[in-house]
Structure formats: structure tokens, C-alpha cells
Amino acid sequence: MQRTSQNPAVRPSTESERAHRATANGGDPTLEFRRVPYDDYVHASTLHGLQRTLSDDPGEMSFLVISQVMELYFGLVDFELGTAQDRLHADDVWGSLLPLRRAALHLEGMNAGWQSLRWMTPGDFNRFRDLLGEGSGFQSAMYRRLEFRLGLKTASLVRPFRHQPDVHARLEAALGSPSVWDEVIGVLARHGHPIPDSVLVRDRTVAHEPHPAVEAAWVEVYREPGPGNHLRMLGEALTEVAEEFGDWRYRHLQAVARSMGARVGTGGSSGLTWLRRSMERPVFAELFSARTVMD
């Protein structure tokens, strides 16, 4: 997600300036502008110019807009998780809780997007599906980056982007960087939990393998329910993120089953079979396995 310190097209204003305008306008909104400030900030006219359907079928617009909205959500969730990672890396557990909470809420909002596609039967989808060619959500670079951030590392999944040097470079960097879970495990170690060096120092381009020491650390963390136990709060915030992300994956599976059954995916995958296999890779695995042995 692009970060800029300021937008030169947007002129800041103060509380007193806003009060003065409201008085001058008699409480009505300002209607005269050289440039509309809202559009300068949100770029709404740009966003609404990005829906370029490939057919005359009215249902395609729903499919395209929801896909674009989810792309924006992928970037937003990745941004929040990146912010949380920065705080965890600095050992600021308390500071990581709010961005993790926001990430979970954004995932909840993104999940609601599937409701807009519940009308789509195979007949509805097939009216424009062929025009997508080999295009598939599997090829979303931002979703792939979000998966890497969550610890779902698969080096081969960077290959589709090798002819887009900037995108490829960013994904390679994300693949080789610590995940949220890696940072969390580092926090557990710095707080006195005995995590082996083999878990703390490893090849970041491959997924973390669940380890008994990490599970045991979470069992210990949850033994103290008091309000000062920030690690327990961290566990619950991560649980929300994992559950909402799991819900997204499941609702994706449901949407595919509803609209195309077990057909082969447009991107060449086995469709439902591929999605089910992907869902078997858990996020924050020890946080859930530890609950089996918690007091």
C-alpha cells in the first residue's frame, strides 16, 4: 500500500476555519470549488472509471466490483498487519493490539462482500466466464502478499509475476521477510518462554512448522487471565484475525461451489479441490492446538 506524507491537492483546514465556513453558509454545505476536495482525497472519479466489463451481461458488474473491493481490502489488511508487525518487532505488544483489531474488522467487512455474489448460479457466471480467459483470483499479487504476511509461504507462487519486475520484487521481499507469526514467536522468546533457536532463526521463505515449544508457550500465557497480561490479549487478537481469514477462505470456497461447482478453475487449478487443499494450511497453528491442553 502506497504511503505518502501529504497530498498536495488537499489543503488542510482548522476547526476555526470550518466553523467560519459553516456560519458563512448558514449551515449548508459549501458548493463552489475550483477542485472538489473529496475527489482530490478519495480519487472517487478514478475508482469509478476502473470498472471495464468484458460483456453486456449486467451480472458481470457485480463480479468485477466485488473483486476490486476485495483487492482494496487485501491491501488494507496487509497494511494493518504490517503496522502490527512493526510494533511486535519493537516488543510493543500493547501497541500491536489495535492494528490487529482493525485487521480483524477489515476482514469481517471483506467477508461480507461474498453476500453480494450469492445470486450467481452457474448459468449466471457462464454468461461471461469464458471472456476471463486464464484470469483468476489465484493471480492476485496483493492476496499472495497477504498470505505471506500471515505465514503461508510457498515460493513457487511468486512465479506468475516474474514478468512484472516491481510486483515480483515486492513479493520476493515479502516471501523472505518474517511473517506476523514469526514476530509473535520472537515476542514469546523475549518474554522468557523457551523457544529453540531452530524456530527463531530459520529460512523465512518457507512456512513455519508448528513446534511443541510454541504451543507450550501459549499454554503458559493463557494461565494468567488478569488484565495486565498483554500476551493473552495478543493471543485473542490473533485468534480473531485467524478466524476471520479462515471465514474468508471458506466463503470463497462456498462462492465457487455455488457458481461453478467442481469445474476446473479459469487459472488452470482444480478449482474446489485446490481451495480445499489451501484451507488445510492453518494460520497461527499453535495458538489453536494449545487450546486442547489448556487448563
Any binding-site annotation on 52?
no
Any binding-site annotation on 273?
no
**Residue 231: closest CA among 179, 192, 285, 177:** 192
Residue 137's Cα: distance from chain center in Å? 14
Contact 278, 248 (CB under 8 A): no
DSSP for residue 133: T
Q: What is the 3-state secondary structure (H, E, C) of 153-177?
A: CCHHHHHHHCCCHHHHHHHHHHHHC
Collapsing DSSP to helix, strand or coil, 100 comes out as helix
The rounded radius of gyration (Å) of the Cα atoms in the chain is 23
Any binding-site annotation on 14?
no
Cα–Cα distance, 59 to 49 (Å, whole number): 18
Cα–Cα distance, 171 to 158 (Å, whole number): 7
DSSP for residue 271: T
Contact 127, 55 (CB under 8 A): yes
Is 288 exposed, middle or buried (CB count within 10 Å of its CB: 0-12, 13-18, 19+)?
middle
Contact 276, 253 (CB under 8 A): yes
- Residue 216's alpha-carbon distances to 80, 190, 223, 224, 294, in angstroms, are 28, 15, 11, 14, 9
Q: What is the DSSP string of 222-249?
A: TT--STT-HHHHHHHHHHHHHHHHHHHH
Which amino acids are annotated as binding site for substrate, given as ranges?
A: 129, 266
Binding-site residue numbers are: 129, 252, 266
Q: Which residues are annotated as a binding site for heme?
A: 252
